[in-house]
């Protein structure tokens, strides 16, 4: 486990803020897409691609790379933005999101962009893909050092296929599989507790033979420590339940499930008029960026 210095934490926070700004810009330009999940998972994706993963943007098919499997594919704006900021393709291309002929489809499509490991769409299927990939890697190389990171949403855990895949992962003791759950507490129809309660979530994963950790999904150091501990587990798969704030970084959008599937310009108007939503969101994030930078140089 690599320790993150205070300077490294601040650099990651600045990068996550830049990624959030790109998310708002691309969603606003597209006029469609999901806001809450991409914004709240920006810290997780930033830490993975700028602090954790073995990967090479100049050689995206490098055989020894770690794999990131996005199971809840509707939050792909954060994956696209992170890949672009990491150097997989030009940041300017982000503004083609969801447009005809764009490589940035509404759900990730393997082969369309460098760095996309799997196609996703139907919720629940990504974990099955990740489990299969992890098993195949062990069959090919029992001494492999690769990790397979599967990103899921908490609403997605209502899918039965998730638990079928989890059962197999536990049986096979896939120590190279690390699930990270975006536990923001809501989905498109409302709060998960109202739609389909899933607590006690940690105990459910433990019953499927997972090592379980619960962390603040916006703390770079807590996430880094949790991933480091998960990498050190050799007898079972791991899950990190990352408690997040939906639409993190834009306080007038935060914790409101109505932003799950709406982009700026089409969201609820009770706090910000539709024609002001993108502008206000970017102003909030740019102000936050200034505060992070000021604190970094204090």
Q: 165: which 2 tokens?
A: 């895949």
pLDDT in tens, 16-53: 999 999 999 999 999 999 999 999 999 999 999 999 99
pLDDT for residue 290 is more than 90: no
Average pLDDT estimate for 219-234: 97
Radius of gyration of the chain (CA): 18
- Predicted pLDDT of residue 2: 79
- pLDDT band for position 294 (50/70/90)? low
- Predicted pLDDT of residue 106: 94
Bridge partner list, 89: none
- Predicted pLDDT of residue 45: 98
Q: 105: which 2 tokens?
A: 């489809």
Q: 164: which 2 tokens?
A: 């079928």
Percent of residues, the chain, with pLDDT higher than 70: 98
Quote the CA–CA distance of 170 and 131 in Å, as a whole number. 10
Average pLDDT estimate for 160-171: 97
Percent of residues, the chain, with pLDDT higher than 90: 93
- Predicted pLDDT of residue 296: 58
pLDDT in tens, 241-269: 999 999 999 999 999 999 999 999 999 99
Average pLDDT estimate for 168-194: 96
pLDDT for residue 237 is more than 90: yes
- Predicted pLDDT of residue 226: 98
Place of tokens 């489990």: 131
36: nearest Cα among 48, 22, 20, 47: 20
pLDDT in tens, 84-131: 999 999 999 999 999 999 999 999 999 999 999 999 988 999 999 999
Average pLDDT estimate for 277-285: 96
Average pLDDT over the chain reads 95
Residues 119-123: contacts with CB within 8 Å, 24+ apart?
119/73, 120/69, 120/70, 120/71, 120/72, 120/73, 120/76, 121/73, 123/71, 123/72, 123/153, 123/155, 123/156, 123/159
- pLDDT band for position 144 (50/70/90)? confident
* Domains detected in the chain: 6-296 (3.40.50.970)
- pLDDT band for position 292 (50/70/90)? confident
pLDDT in tens, 43-77: 999 999 999 999 999 999 999 999 999 999 999 99
- Predicted pLDDT of residue 291: 74
- pLDDT band for position 143 (50/70/90)? confident
pLDDT for residue 298 is more than 60: no
- Predicted pLDDT of residue 266: 97
């Amino acid at each position: 486990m690599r320790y993150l210095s205070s300077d490294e934490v601040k650099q990651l926070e600045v990068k996550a803020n830049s990624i959030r700004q790109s998310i708002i810009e691309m969603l606003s330009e597209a006029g469609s897409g999901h806001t809450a999940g991409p914004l709240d998972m920006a810290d997780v994706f930033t830490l993975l691609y700028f602090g954790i993963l073995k990967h090479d943007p100049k050689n995206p098919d490098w055989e020894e790379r770690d794999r990131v499997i996005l199971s809840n594919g509707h939050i792909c704006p954060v994956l696209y933005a992170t890949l672009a900021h990491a150097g997989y393709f030009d940041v300017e291309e982000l503004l083609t999101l969801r447009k005809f002929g764009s490589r940035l489809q509404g759900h990730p499509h393997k082969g369309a962009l460098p760095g996309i490991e799997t196609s996703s769409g139907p919720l629940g299927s990504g974990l099955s893909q990740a489990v299969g990939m992890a098993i195949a890697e062990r069959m090919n190389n029992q001494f492999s050092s690769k990790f397979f990171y599967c990103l899921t949403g908490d609403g997605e855990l209502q899918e039965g296929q998730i638990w079928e895949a989890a059962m197999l992962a536990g049986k096979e003791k896939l120590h190279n599989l690390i699930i990270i759950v975006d536990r923001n507490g809501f989905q498109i129809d409302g709060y998960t507790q109202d739609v389909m309660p899933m607590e006690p979530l940690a105990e459910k994963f433990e019953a499927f033979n997972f090592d379980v950790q619960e962390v603040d999904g916006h703390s770079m150091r807590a996430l880094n420590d949790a991933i480091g501990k998960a990498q050190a587990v050799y007898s079972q798969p791991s899950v990190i339940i990352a408690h997040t704030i939906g639409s993190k970084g834009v306080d007038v959008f935060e914790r409101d499930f109505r932003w799950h599937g709406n982009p700026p310009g089409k969201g609820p108007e009770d706090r910000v008029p539709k024609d002001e939503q993108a502008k206000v969101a970017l102003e909030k994030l740019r102000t936050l960026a200034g505060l992070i930078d000021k604190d970094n140089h204090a």
